[in-house]
Amino acid sequence: MNMFSLSRGNDKGRLVSKAKSSGDNHLIELHQVEKVFQSSAGAYRALKNIDLEIGAGEFVGIIGRSGSGKSTLINMITGIDRPSSGEVLVGETTVHTLSENQMARWRGRNLGIVFQFFQLLPNLTVIENVMMPMDLCNKYPIWERRKRALNLLELVGMQEQADKLPSALSGGQQQRVAIARALANDPPLIIADEPTGNLDSKTADEMFKLFENLTAKGKTVVMVTHDSSLARRVSRTVLIVDGEVVNEYVARALPSLSPPLLLEATHRIQPMTFQPGATIIKENEPGQNFYIISKGFAEVVLKRPSGEDVVADRLQPGQYFGEVSLLHSSRTIAAVRAIPEAPVEALALDAASFQNLLDASPDFQSAVHTVADERLTHTRNMQEGV
């Protein structure tokens, strides 16, 4: 049986997604997810049209200011809460369609959840806390559970504390036990909601290394964090602003913009696709757009006085181009084209929107001018054959 299928008692069938997965090797997919909370003050949209894909084996950090929607997003994935509209798929399972009983069984077998406040049962010993998910799901024979729990405690450096109560442990030690408990049923997906929020920096770093080791062994880890130093170390970050996901390539290319301006840029970009070898920007023409590469590679091509074409640079996802002519209200000094071997996907921002971002952020303006000046110098040297 597929590890994401859900057995239904004595049913011979299995619960699988009724929707087609759109991605290759995507473990998590959210499609147009909205979450609206009702209160005496009226409706509050906590999540707005979230589209998100997370691949198997990724270590993803969910970041954003307090109240931005990070935990609400995690609750959609874990099934702790349900979307007001949209789809949540984990593997083959449409999580949002499960009944409460189905949800509990699916979650116990397929998710390991690590909370900020540990949530160890105080009257159970450390090893009993780790064994509890195995007892609830009956995934392992009774005689194997203690040995497996000891092995997991050894993995997190807590084997010697196995027979102590949680109250005898430090916060960092309790979080290690919580991670061992999350791994009890060997889930493919680990969800961690602010797991280092109550730990000192040294212990937080140790926790992070544990998550890194888990992804190295094939687990998928999704971690909500407010710690910017840890967020920089994950393989990919997802920035949430006011309940919306900022385009990850916009965030990667323009780190000097504030979160609200990154969201504004996300709203204004237009996706474009260029076939292999196609010209994106022609030389000696008025600048029209600012581009960020989201997939594939592009070449910056210069023409020397001899008429010879030379490739001055190769740009990859998360890099931008087109800023020089826009900054100086001049004609383009180089051509940019998709490499001959593959198409390029880019995000285009029109000149007016680009100027608005410059005006709104002195830091962004300074960063872009620095890059443009470096590129101008490099271009002139290449053209002259230096």
Do 78 and 220 share a domain, yes or no?
yes
Q: Is residue 184 part of a domain?
A: yes
CATH of the domain at 15: 3.40.50.300
Q: Is residue 266 part of a domain?
A: yes
The count of structural domains within the chain is 2
Domain of residue 93, residue span: 6-245
Q: Is residue 105 part of a domain?
A: yes
Do 128 and 216 share a domain, yes or no?
yes
Q: Tell me the percentage of the chain whose pLDDT exceeds 90.
A: 64
Please provide residue 184's backbone torsions phi and psi, each rounded to the nearest 5 degrees. Answer: -55, -45
Three-state secondary structure readout of 240-280? EECCEECCHHHHHHCCCCCHHHHHHHHHHCEEEEECCCCEE
CA distance 146 to 5: 26
Handedness of CA 59, 64, 65, 67 (dihedral sign): negative
What single-letter DSSP state applies at residue 323?
A: H
Q: Is residue 252 part of a domain?
A: no
Do 120 and 220 share a domain, yes or no?
yes
CA distance 79 to 265: 31
Q: How many CB atoms lie within 10 A of CB 32?
A: 12
Do 272 and 364 share a domain, yes or no?
yes
Whether the pLDDT of residue 112 is over 80: the answer is yes
Do 232 and 304 share a domain, yes or no?
no
Classified as helix, coil or strand, 379 is helix
How is the beta sheet containing 236-241 ordered, strand by strand? 111-114, 189-193, 220-224, 59-63, 236-241, 244-245
Question: Which pTM was predicted?
Answer: 0.83
Q: What is the mean pLDDT of residues 283-300?
A: 93
CA distance 281 to 289: 9
Do 118 and 189 share a domain, yes or no?
yes
Whether the pLDDT of residue 13 is over 90: the answer is no
Do 195 and 295 share a domain, yes or no?
no
- pLDDT tens by residue, 172-203: 899 889 999 999 999 999 999 888 777 788 88
Scan for tokens 């290394």, then name that residue. 209
As given in the structure block, the two tokens for residue 330 are 């001049």
Q: Among 185, 210, 245, give the residue marking a domain's end.
A: 245
Scan for tokens 């008025």, then name that residue. 286
Whether the pLDDT of residue 121 is over 80: the answer is yes
Q: What is the mean pLDDT of residues 93-98?
A: 93
Do 239 and 288 share a domain, yes or no?
no
As given in the structure block, the two tokens for residue 139 are 């995934």
Confidence band of 37 (pLDDT split at 50, 70, 90): very high
Q: Which long-range contacts (C-beta less than 8 Å, at least 24 apart) are formed by 360-364?
A: 360/261, 361/256, 361/257, 361/258, 361/261, 363/256, 363/257, 364/254, 364/256, 364/257, 364/261
Check if the beta carbon of residue 222 is closer than 8 Å to that of residue 90. no
As given in the structure block, the two tokens for residue 314 are 């190769």
What's the pLDDT score for residue 383? 65
